[in-house]
Every structure is written in structure tokens, then in C-alpha cells.
Amino acid sequence: MIEKMKKVTVLTEAGRKSQLLLSLREAGVLHISDLVQKSPSVDVKEKERGEYARIMQILSERGKKSKGRGRTLSGDEFQKLHSALVENTDEEERLKQRIIALQNERERILPFGEFDPNELKSLADDGIPVYLYTIEKKEEEKLRADENARYIPVAYSGKGNAVALLYSPIHEGIQATPFRLPEMSLAEIDAELVADKKAEEDIGKKIEAAAEYIPSYKAFLEKLDAEITFERASSTVSGDDIVYLSGYIPAKDEQKFRKMAADSSFAFMIDDPGEDDNPPTLIRYRGFLRIVKPVFDILGTVPGYNEYDISSYFLVFFSLFFAMIIGDAGYGILFILVAALMQIKTKKLSDANILIYVLGGVTVIWGALTGTWFGSEAILEDVPFLQKLVIPAITNFPDVMGVDADWAQNMLMKFCFILGAVQLGLGRVINIVTKVRNKDLSFVAEIGWFLDVVMLYLMALYLVIGESIPFGVVVGGVILGFVLVCCFSGQGPGISFGKGLVSGLSGFFTTFLDTISCFSNIMSYIRLFAVGMASLAIAQSFNDMAAGMLSGFMLPVGIVIILIGHSLNFVMGILSVVVHGVRLNLLEFSGSLGMEWTGYNYDPFRKTGDDNSKAAGNS
């Protein structure tokens, strides 16, 4: 459920600003409104943090090769370590760039072979300048015909030829590419490369060895983050003689905040958020529902403070959608095995573990009900026990179960439409109950939408699977629902019926489009059938490819095809869940509830890590 919030403003004398911030941080319940993100002091610390974070990222990448345990340094020892690592990483980067430059230079002069560029420079000092060119054969013939040109053919292993002209550069009428003399010979470049690569390797070993100090960086960054947050809070405080800070606290923490303010002699005001306020959202996941939190965390979706907490509905429908899209009991078993391996590795049962167990279990149940085990008809045919678990009306293998294929397919599509009507209708029922409690007359419009959902569901059955329906009743029901929406959608507390009626009727065209959208939303649930069938078809295709190879010397090839094919299908199924299963919950269902997911998380100003510094408050 979404926790109720209280709006808070706390005030004190300007001289007690630091004490105010420290007390608020210690209490750890106030979410500061409009927390300043940029200020000169914050920018300085952000830049400092970026340098430490850069080094920690480098150590983390190198630490993958290190098997040693982490060590923690602090104070001057840590700063000495950091300074050394900054120098090492900078020098390593310099060496990398120099090695690249030397390799490029080597490639450039390699076609000329080994020569000493200093000898050519000495000739120039003695009054015999030498100009090197690469030249095409046709242009070299022109050069040869020039009686005034003094040139020498030069050994060259690249494209075209090379020449050296004495005393003067090549004539402008002859096209040739000047060759810039290198600073070093090939031998000298090779020696430099060996030395630089050795130096780079030595520095790399030092950096890799320092990966054991990653815990030191994590601890330091936690402390620095706390200081940055403190600086932001300090910059947010407004006022001259009297300073104040505004924000929100959970209603359950009101007494804790009052006690803190009273003990510290701070003035404060507490009130309920107004219509124009935008409090943060704090969701309390109670009991088993907490397993859905990792999904919302990954998606980064947060309901608005005045929106609904759909955690329970999301978990039920998402689990079912997941099972229908994956669609295979064999894959469900794999999910359960993955969860078990994660639990064994971490030696604890996390919420993510439980969620995977649940999704895997529901997938096994759905796969068993449809008779789908690794997409194989032979498995279902050869194991009579598995046939007893199948519901023939929704089976993926009608021939084995002795039912008509078209009938089974239509029943499965009908089940998808039923799910759509139930979920979208549930959204309207929730709206009706909420608005009735709030004495909001627009609940009648929600009844109209509910009626439309039911009638448009019947229309979907008629259009897609040809099921007979009372056509006149359906059309009349849609029209009645449309009229109710037009007449009552503009009603609300404090709005006169006449004004609400005018407002609703003015949205006639929008309501018409929304009605069409409602029908398309119901139709969109057919994706559960389509994606599930596509996954089955892919599994069957790989099974058929491998079927003729599962004996003799081709057996290993057949096994590899099955493993690769089902692994690919398994991953594609997970991606399909993200695209389709999540969409049905966050768009279609949430849309019926009027949710826009415009919320932001409650993030109180609080003490983190082992930060006990008060210096930040004095800056």
C-alpha cells in the first residue's frame, strides 16, 4: 500500500542551520522538497567523487582476475594509495597512447626498411638535402625524363615506388607524396615498444594487485555521498535570519519527527498535502507481495502519490502472463533450477529467488495444462500421466488429446480475451469503488466503461473466433456505456451536475476515440496466444531439426542443436515477457485505472554508512 504522507516545514535561527541539518539527518524521515542538485560546493565534491569512482571502476574491472580478500584502508594511508593509483592509471594511459603512436609510426616507415634518419639529417647539414617521396610508376617515368632532376630509386615494399631527390624537391608538375622523416629508426622504435609494453605490464600488475582495496573505495564513496547530500540539503535551506526547510514525512513517523523537533527546539508546521502538492511515493510491500518489488525496481516505475498501488494485481496477472508467454513446463522447471542454484550460491532465500520460484512454478502448471514439455509432442504422447494433467480445450497438441485443432485454438484465444476483459473490467471496478467512497458522481462513467468492456469483449469473440452473440444487445450496450461516459465523466465533488454534464459532453470525440481504444486494448491480449504459439513453433522446429540426428555418430550434433535451439527460445521468451507481459500490466491495465506512473520514490535525508562528519555542515 502507498503510505500516507505529511507535509512538513521546519524553521530555526540562521546560526543553528548546521544543527538543524544534523538533527534531520539523524532522524532520517524527512524527504526534502526540491533538493538542490547544483551549487559551487556540490560541484567541487561531485568532481572529487568522480575521480574516486573512476579509480574504483578500474579496480573493479581488474579485480575480476584477483581472488584475494578485500582490505580496508582509511585516513592518510588510503589517500596515499589513491594518489599512487591516480599516477599509475594516468601513466598507464600515457603508455597506451604512446604504444599506439609508436605502432602507427612503425607501420608508416616499415615499407622503407631499416635506415637511420639521423644520417639523412646529417647530409642536409652538410649541404646535401634529401627529399623522400612515394610515387606511382607513370609519375616516376616523368621524373626520369626530367634531365634536371637528381633522384635515386629507393627500396620500397609498399604500394607504388619510392624515390629520393637530392638538393631540391620534386617538380610541381609531377605528382608524388612527400615522406616525412621519422624521429627514430625501426630498430629504435622496436626497442621503445618493448620497453613501453614492459612498463605498461608492470603498472597493470600494480593496479591489479590494488583491487583488494575496493572495500576502501566503497566506504570512502559512501561517506562522500553523505557529504554531497548534506551539501545539497545545506544549499536548499532558505532564509536569512530565520532559515527553513520543507519536505514530506510518512504519517507513521510524525511522532518521531515531533519529538526530534521538540528536543532540538525547532519550530515546525505539519499538514496534509494539498491538491497542488506532489509528495513522494512510499510503498510498503507487505508479506508475500514484497517479491514483486524487484520487478518494479528493474522497470523503474513508481505510481504517483494519489494513484493506486497495483502490486497484488500485478503479481497475479504478471505471473499468469509470464507462464502463457513462456508456455512450456520444461522451461518452467529450468526457472526453478536457476532459482535453486541462486539460493545455493548466495546461501539465502531472497525476494528475487522467491519470485523466480513462483514464475517457474506457474509456468510448469500452465505448461502441464496445455501439455507442453520442451515443445515435444512425443513426450506427451509417450507419458500417459502427463496427458491426465492436460485440459483438452487449451492443449497445444490436439491430436494427442483427441480434440479438434481449430476448436482448441479458438478456446485458447477465448481464454486470452477473457483475461483481458477480467483485467480491464477489474480496473473499472476499482475505480467505481474508489469514487463511491469519495462521493464522486463520475463513478457512473466508470460503470459505463465497465459495460463497454463487457460488450466489446463479446464483439472480439464474434470478430475473431466467430462465436455467436446477441448482436443487438452488444451494440446497445456499447452505446449505453458511451452515453454514460459522456454524461458523467465530467462530474466530481464540488462540481454542479449541469457544469459536469457540459464538461463531459464537450469531450464527445475523445470519448469516442477512447471507446475504440478500449476495444483495441481487449484485442491486444491476443498477443499472449500469438507469442506463446510462436515460442512453441520455434521449439518444435529445433526438435524436428535434431530428430534425425539423435542416433549414431550424429548424436552429439543433434544434442548441440537442441541445446542451442532451446536456449535461444528460452532467452527470446524472457524478452517477450518484458515486451508483452509487462506492457499489459503497465499500459492496458494501468490505463483503465487512469494511472500515469508519474511518481517518484520517497528518499529521506538520512545518515548513511559510517559518516559522522559535521564539517560538511560548516562549509
Pick from 184, 219, 240: which residue ends a domain? 184
The answer to whether 354 touches 291, Cβ cutoff 8 Å, is yes
Do residues 423 and 519 both lie within one domain?
Answer: yes
Residue predicted with more confidence, 579 or 613: 579
Identify the CATH number of the domain in which residue 159 sits.
3.30.70
pLDDT tens digits, 15-52: 888 898 899 888 889 998 888 878 888 888 889 889 99
The mean per-residue pLDDT over the stretch 179-203 comes to 92
The answer to whether 375 touches 540, Cβ cutoff 8 Å, is yes
Closest CA to 27 of 237, 247, 223, 219: 247
**Which residues are 13's β-sheet partners?**
242
Q: Indicate the burial class of 244 (C-beta count within 10 angstroms; 0-12, 13-18, 19 or more).
A: middle
What is the signed CA dihedral for 286, 291, 292, 294, rounded to 10 degrees? Answer: 120
The answer to whether 269 touches 245, Cβ cutoff 8 Å, is no
Do residues 480 and 410 both lie within one domain?
Answer: yes
Q: Residue 153 pLDDT more than 90?
A: no
| Residue 349: all three cell numbers together | 532465500
Do residues 506 and 613 both lie within one domain?
Answer: no
- Confirm whether 230 is domain-assigned: yes
Residue identified by cell 491538491 is 275
Q: Residue 8 — φ and ψ, nearest 5°?
A: -130, 140
Number of domains in the chain: 3
Measure the CA–CA gap between 495 and 485, rounded to whole angstroms. Answer: 16
The mean per-residue pLDDT over the stretch 214-243 comes to 86
Measure the CA–CA gap between 72 and 218, rounded to whole angstroms. Answer: 9
Q: What residue spans of 64-185 are helical by DSSP H? A: 75-109, 117-125, 137-145
- Confirm whether 300 is domain-assigned: no
- Confirm whether 279 is domain-assigned: yes
Helix, strand, or coil here: 152?
Answer: strand
Do residues 271 and 344 both lie within one domain?
Answer: no
The answer to whether 490 touches 501, Cβ cutoff 8 Å, is yes
Do residues 399 and 425 both lie within one domain?
Answer: yes
The answer to whether 441 touches 432, Cβ cutoff 8 Å, is no
Q: Residue 81 pLDDT more than 70?
A: yes
Do residues 325 and 472 both lie within one domain?
Answer: yes
Measure the CA–CA gap between 327 and 332, rounded to whole angstroms. Answer: 8
Q: Residue 596 — φ and ψ, nearest 5°?
A: -120, -5
The answer to whether 491 touches 500, Cβ cutoff 8 Å, is yes
pLDDT of residue 610: 54
Q: How far apart are the first and last CA of the chain?
A: 40
- Confirm whether 154 is domain-assigned: yes
pLDDT tens digits, 375-385: 999 999 999 99
Measure the CA–CA gap between 51 and 45, rounded to whole angstroms. Answer: 10
Most confident region among 163-172, 282-291, 383-392 by mean pLDDT: 383-392
CB half-sphere exposure, 234, CA atoms < 13 A: 22
pLDDT of residue 611: 53
Alpha carbon separation from 600 to 32, 125, 229 (Å, rounded): 13, 74, 18
- Confirm whether 306 is domain-assigned: no
CA 222 remoteness from chain centre: 23
Do residues 144 and 207 both lie within one domain?
Answer: no
Residue 122: give the domain boundaries.
115-184
Alpha carbon separation from 4 to 27, 251, 393, 451 (Å, rounded): 18, 6, 47, 33
**Which residues are 601's β-sheet partners?**
281
Q: What residue spans of 268-350 are helical by DSSP H? A: 293-299, 311-326, 329-346
Do residues 164 and 217 both lie within one domain?
Answer: no
The answer to whether 339 touches 360, Cβ cutoff 8 Å, is yes
The mean per-residue pLDDT over the stretch 422-448 comes to 93
Cβ atoms within 10 Å, residue 112: 20
- Confirm whether 302 is domain-assigned: no
In the chain, what percentage of residues exceed pLDDT 70? 97
Do residues 97 and 119 both lie within one domain?
Answer: no
Do residues 413 and 562 both lie within one domain?
Answer: yes
**Which residues are 163's β-sheet partners?**
133, 153
Do residues 180 and 212 both lie within one domain?
Answer: no
What is the signed CA dihedral for 63, 68, 70, 76, rounded to 10 degrees? Answer: -90
Measure the CA–CA gap between 547 and 374, rounded to whole angstroms. Answer: 13
Confidence of residue 616 (pLDDT cuts 50, 70, 90): very low
Measure the CA–CA gap between 512 and 523, rounded to whole angstroms. Answer: 17
- Confirm whether 219 is domain-assigned: yes
- Confirm whether 471 is domain-assigned: yes
pLDDT of residue 287: 85
Measure the CA–CA gap between 494 and 503, rounded to whole angstroms. Answer: 14
Closest CA to 400 of 410, 413, 387: 387
pLDDT of residue 362: 96
What is the CA angle 218-222-225, rounded to 5? 135
pLDDT of residue 617: 38
Measure the CA–CA gap between 600 and 225, rounded to whole angstroms. Answer: 20
The answer to whether 521 touches 588, Cβ cutoff 8 Å, is yes
Do residues 278 and 371 both lie within one domain?
Answer: no
Q: Residue 168 pLDDT more than 90?
A: no
Closest CA to 303 of 604, 2, 587, 30: 2
Q: Which of 19-33, 52-66, 533-547 has the lowest mean pLDDT?
A: 52-66
Residue identified by cell 520460484 is 357
Order across the sheet with 242-250: list the strands: 31-32, 242-250, 5-13, 267-271
The amino acid present at 450, given as its one-letter code, is F
Measure the CA–CA gap between 21 and 236, rounded to whole angstroms. Answer: 11
Strand (E) or helix (H) holding 444: helix 443-465
b (16+ CB within 10 A) / e for 272-308: eeeeeeebbbbbebeeebebbebbbeeeebbbbbebb
pLDDT of residue 619: 32
pLDDT tens digits, 303-353: 999 999 999 999 999 999 999 999 999 999 999 999 999 999 988 888 889
